[in-house]
Amino acid sequence: MATPTRPRQTHPCSRTNHEEAVLLHLCLSLGRGFICSGKGAGLTLSLVCSEPLRLVGGASRCAGTVEVKHRGEWRRVVKAYGFWDLGATAAVCRDLDCGSAVSGGERDDFPQSRVWEIHPYCVKKFTVRECVTDSSSSKALEVVCSDSVRLVSGSGLCSGSVQIWDQSWTWLCEEALDLQGAEVLCRELGCGAPSLLQGAVSPLGLQTFYCEGHESALMDCPRYSSRTCSSGAAVNLTCSEPLRLVGGASRCAGTVEVKHRGEWRRVVKAYGFWDLGATAAVCRDLDCGSAVSGGERDDFPQSRVWEIHPYCVKKFTVRECVTDSSSSKALEVVCSDLLNRPIISLSVLDGASEALPQGVRVKPGSKFRVKCSVEPQFPGGSFQLLSPTVNLTQNHTLPAVNHSAHFLFSDTGPAHKGNHLQVFDYAFSSQSHALQLHVGDENLNVESAN
């Protein structure tokens, strides 16, 4: 098992000309790092200056209290007025060349001293050092980024193509990850369980990571290979949001709670008007149905809560919009859905496949398998796979065995959507995320049924 380690600083090249020496001196005088590379018989200097930014006191170089070197002085960082959300945390992770943003917030237990103050809206557009001003405070910003894995080009912090750090950021190949590995990765990023895994789950034992599911980080899993992949062959992963409704009649009704910084707390609204649009955003992140009702109650004991701004959740996920607060209130939400959203994955048993930003491409004639599963909630039931083709829609139904079903296709055909579960005397349905299957050069788009 090989765990990639990231050098904190690269030594300067042993041979430089006068101009290169001047550049190195300039880079060092700015308090920044540098990278050197050789080429041919001679030596070519590639100079990359890193930001004078660091995290201290954490478990890794990608976690801890934020410090910036400015005007020749290292100081801890505090936020100015404004809302410090995961978008601002992601900007710090970006400048550190770390992975995805996991958590971020302020502490208030430091001695009063001179600090660098930054505005959250500024760091989303510029580097952290470009946003600092002189101040004094007993607070400090703490940030946790993933160290060696990240999701890129997704719709939010919990979805995208998987990259790992292996001396540089590289794409994780399709077939490199199974469902247990995806669970570990989602948990490492502070997200919920995986709900969509594309371009992965090899039945031939070719995956790079062999996780048992209890590991705290993907790089803690045994690793047996490392192939270089293009972005077109990368694993695409969607994790659910760490969000739940408690105390209601179903999983889609109740008091809103979010897990952030490793802690579940109930949620209250900040200033602003909580309308059905904000409620619909909560239902969206829960993979529930439409918004039915939402509002605040004021009969809880005073305690620490997560505060969210209604305007923020309409544009971003709930977890990206939380900040620390204290209140006796709580948000209650009712959505229309009743069942957990199923998890869907595809594995190609023979023939070549390619993970695309939208779906998976396989060669005509390939043999593949689609797995539908759902977290235990009701006994029995069945899964229905809907696969639209060019001229007709074919339905496939299998009984649920251990809350899952495997649909085997001996020849490449259409993609699928949805599932249907029959429980007791009532029929409830819940649909998975859409999985798109591209056969050859033909794209078969899949849409979820109402």
- Alpha helix stretches (DSSP H) within 245-320: 276-285, 310-313
Lowest mean pLDDT among 35-44, 182-191, 437-446: 35-44
Judge if 295 and 366 occupy the same domain.
no
Judge if 102 and 87 occupy the same domain.
yes
**For residue 75, is pLDDT > 90?**
yes
Write the CATH number for 350. 2.60.40.10
Q: What percent of the chain has pLDDT over 70?
A: 69
**For residue 353, is pLDDT > 80?**
no
CA nearest to 202, candidates 179, 226, 171, 225: 179
Q: What pLDDT does residue 439 have?
A: 64
Which tens digits make up the pLDDT trace of 99-142?
999 988 888 889 999 999 998 888 888 888 888 899 999 999 99
DSSP 234: B
Q: What pLDDT does residue 147 have?
A: 87
- What residues pair up with 386 in beta bridges, in sequence order? 395, 417
Judge if 124 and 155 occupy the same domain.
no
pTM: 0.63
Q: How many domains does the chain have?
A: 5
Judge if 348 and 309 occupy the same domain.
no
The answer to the question of residue 429 being in a domain is: yes
pLDDT tier at 323, thresholds 50, 70, 90: confident
**For residue 51, is pLDDT > 70?**
yes
Q: What pLDDT does residue 229 have?
A: 62
The answer to the question of residue 108 being in a domain is: yes
Which carries the bigger pLDDT value, residue 441 or residue 96?
96
CA nearest to 432, candidates 371, 344, 370: 344
Domain boundary among 335, 369, 403: 335
The answer to the question of residue 154 being in a domain is: yes
Judge if 46 and 58 occupy the same domain.
no
Which tens digits make up the pLDDT trace of 166-196?
778 888 877 778 888 889 999 999 888 887 7
The answer to the question of residue 267 being in a domain is: yes
Decide: residue 376, CB within 10 A, 0-12 exposed, 13-18 middle, 19+ buried. Answer: exposed
164 in Cβ contact with 149 (< 8 Å): yes
Q: Where are the beta strands (DSSP E) in 155-252?
A: 159-165, 169-171, 194-198, 236-239, 243-247
Q: What pLDDT does residue 86 have?
A: 85
What does the alpha-carbon distance between residue 448 and residue 421 come to, in Å, rounded to a whole number? 16
Judge if 362 and 300 occupy the same domain.
no
The answer to the question of residue 20 being in a domain is: yes
How high is the mean pLDDT of the chain? 75
Q: What pLDDT does residue 417 have?
A: 36
Q: What pLDDT does residue 279 have?
A: 93
pLDDT tier at 411, thresholds 50, 70, 90: low
Angstrom CA distances, 302 to 259, 271, 274, 351, stand at 19, 18, 21, 59
The answer to the question of residue 409 being in a domain is: yes
Write the CATH number for 299. 3.10.250.10
Q: What pLDDT does residue 24 have?
A: 54
Judge if 136 and 185 occupy the same domain.
no
Which carries the bigger pLDDT value, residue 43 or residue 299?
299
What does the alpha-carbon distance between residue 353 and residue 410 come to, in Å, rounded to a whole number? 15
Domain boundary among 100, 122, 145: 145
Q: What pLDDT does residue 232 have?
A: 55
Q: What's the domain range around 315?
A: 243-335
The answer to the question of residue 258 being in a domain is: yes
Contacts of 410 (CB under 8 A, 6+ apart): 367
H or E segment and range at residue 102 = strand 101-107
Q: What percent of the chain has pLDDT over 90?
A: 24
Which tens digits make up the pLDDT trace of 216-275?
899 999 887 655 565 556 788 888 889 999 999 888 999 999 998 888 999 999 877 899
**For residue 329, is pLDDT > 80?**
yes
222 in Cβ contact with 176 (< 8 Å): no
Rounded average pLDDT over 197-224: 73
Which carries the bigger pLDDT value, residue 93 or residue 231?
93
Domain boundary among 335, 364, 392: 335
Which tens digits make up the pLDDT trace of 396-405?
788 888 778 8
